[in-house]
Amino acid sequence: MKLILFFLLLSFKLSFSQDCGLENVLLPSQSDVDNFIINHPNCTKILGDLKIGGTTITHSDITDITGLANITEIQGTLTIEYNEVLANLNGLQNLESVGQSLILGFNNSLSDISSLSKIRTLPSELVLFSNPFLTNLTGLEQLTSVESLNILFSPLVNLDQLANLQSINNLIILENISLNSCSIQSICSHLNNEEATPNIRNNGPNCSSKEKILNSCKTLSSEIFNKKIKTIKVYPNPTNGILKISGNKSTIKRIVLNNLTGAFISEERLSEKNSIDISLLKNGIYFITIQTNDGLNSVQKIIKN
């Protein structure tokens, strides 16, 4: 009986520690942060929004949020803004889930957001504006999904740390005079969508307009394609009839075979095959075109003897 009672009490304590019953939490000062830690030492989940920082009138004196290390989930929006002296986000390293947006703005000393490294998705917005010392986005490398990307008045020079973003549906990049590299795959795909209405202006030369970014995207596409193609081997070459395919065939949509004059001979799809039989063709020079699922093509010369 005592053992059962022990496990019931343990279960209740664990359940309580996961949800502190708070819908929205406002922490405008260091004393508010410290009191939150004292009053809710086991809090791991915020049921609504969490705002850390001050207002346009009264900026915050927060310097340390390490006491928030138990928080793993914010079901609403995480806003960190109007902080004069907060230099890093140490204390949010266990945060895995944000249910709405991540907003970082008017943080005049913030230079390190690496503690956000466990966040994978943002169902709404990623908003970055007026963080004068935030020169890179290290910490957001694991982010794969965001509805809207908004970057304004930042000292960023590139968006390399957002390279794992798979897609975005809205894009605003304004007044980032040092930002000269924006051609990550998700932005390139978004700008290639005729229905997209991005707002892009007054950035570095290569990010100054939709057209400039798309021009850089061509180079990116080539680099990505080369990486994919290097994993795919077509051999032996020369061949007496059977061409074998090895590597990551899931990236290949189809392989087209043409003769020396460019006339079409055959088309192969490799979903269930590891080779191409050209034994019935005459000896000579042929060309195979490897087309990836991204619509990119690589042409290779094949010698049949």
Residue 6: predicted pLDDT: 43
- Sign of the alpha-carbon dihedral angle for 210, 216, 219, 221: negative
CATH of the domain at 274: 2.60.40.1930
70, 81, 114, 218, 219 from 119: Cα distances, Å: 15, 19, 11, 30, 29
Is position 3 within any domain?
Answer: no
Q: Are residue 190 and residue 246 in the same domain, yes or no? A: no
**Alpha-carbon radius of gyration of the chain:** 27
My answer on whether omega of the bond before 236 falls inside 30° of 0, hence cis, is yes
Give the integer Cα–Cα distance in Å for 187 and 268: 32
Is position 184 within any domain?
Answer: yes
Please state the domain count of the chain: 2
Is the separation of the CB atoms in 89 and 66 below 8 Å?
no
Is position 8 within any domain?
Answer: no
Is position 96 within any domain?
Answer: yes
Residue 28: predicted pLDDT: 97
With H, G, I as helix, E, B as strand and everything else as coil, classify residue 294. Answer: coil
Q: Are residue 216 and residue 93 in the same domain, yes or no? A: yes
Is the separation of the CB atoms in 223 and 254 below 8 Å?
no
Is position 141 within any domain?
Answer: yes
Strand partners for 304: 239, 284
Q: Are residue 119 and residue 266 in the same domain, yes or no? A: no
Q: Are residue 188 and residue 294 in the same domain, yes or no? A: no
Of 178, 197, 226, the one marking the end of a domain is 226
Q: Are residue 257 and residue 113 in the same domain, yes or no? A: no
Helix or strand holding residue 240 (H, E): none
Q: Is 186 exposed, middle or buried (0-12, 13-18, 19+ CB in 10 A)?
A: buried
- Strand 199-201 to strand 284-292: parallel, antiparallel, or no bridges (unpaired)? unpaired
For residue 173 the two structure tokens come to 């990049």
Per-residue pLDDT 10s for the chain (305 aa) are: 444 444 444 443 444 445 677 889 999 999 999 999 999 998 999 999 999 999 999 999 999 999 999 999 999 999 999 999 999 999 999 999 999 999 999 999 999 999 999 999 999 999 999 999 999 999 999 999 999 999 999 999 999 999 899 889 999 999 999 999 998 888 988 988 888 899 999 999 999 999 999 888 876 555 555 555 566 778 899 998 898 877 666 667 778 888 877 788 888 876 556 788 899 999 998 888 877 665 566 778 889 98
Q: Are residue 77 and residue 184 in the same domain, yes or no? A: yes
Residue 274: predicted pLDDT: 75
Of 193, 226, 259, the one marking the end of a domain is 226
Is the separation of the CB atoms in 30 and 48 below 8 Å?
no
Residue 14: predicted pLDDT: 43
Give the integer Cα–Cα distance in Å for 98 and 49: 9
Is the separation of the CB atoms in 133 and 162 below 8 Å?
no
- Sign of the alpha-carbon dihedral angle for 69, 70, 73, 78: negative
- Sign of the alpha-carbon dihedral angle for 143, 144, 145, 149: positive
Q: Are residue 84 and residue 207 in the same domain, yes or no? A: yes
Residue 13: predicted pLDDT: 43
CATH of the domain at 88: 3.80.10
Of 210, 226, 242, the one marking the end of a domain is 226
For residue 186 the two structure tokens come to 């998700």
Is position 124 within any domain?
Answer: yes
Look up the domain containing 61 and give its range.
Answer: 13-226
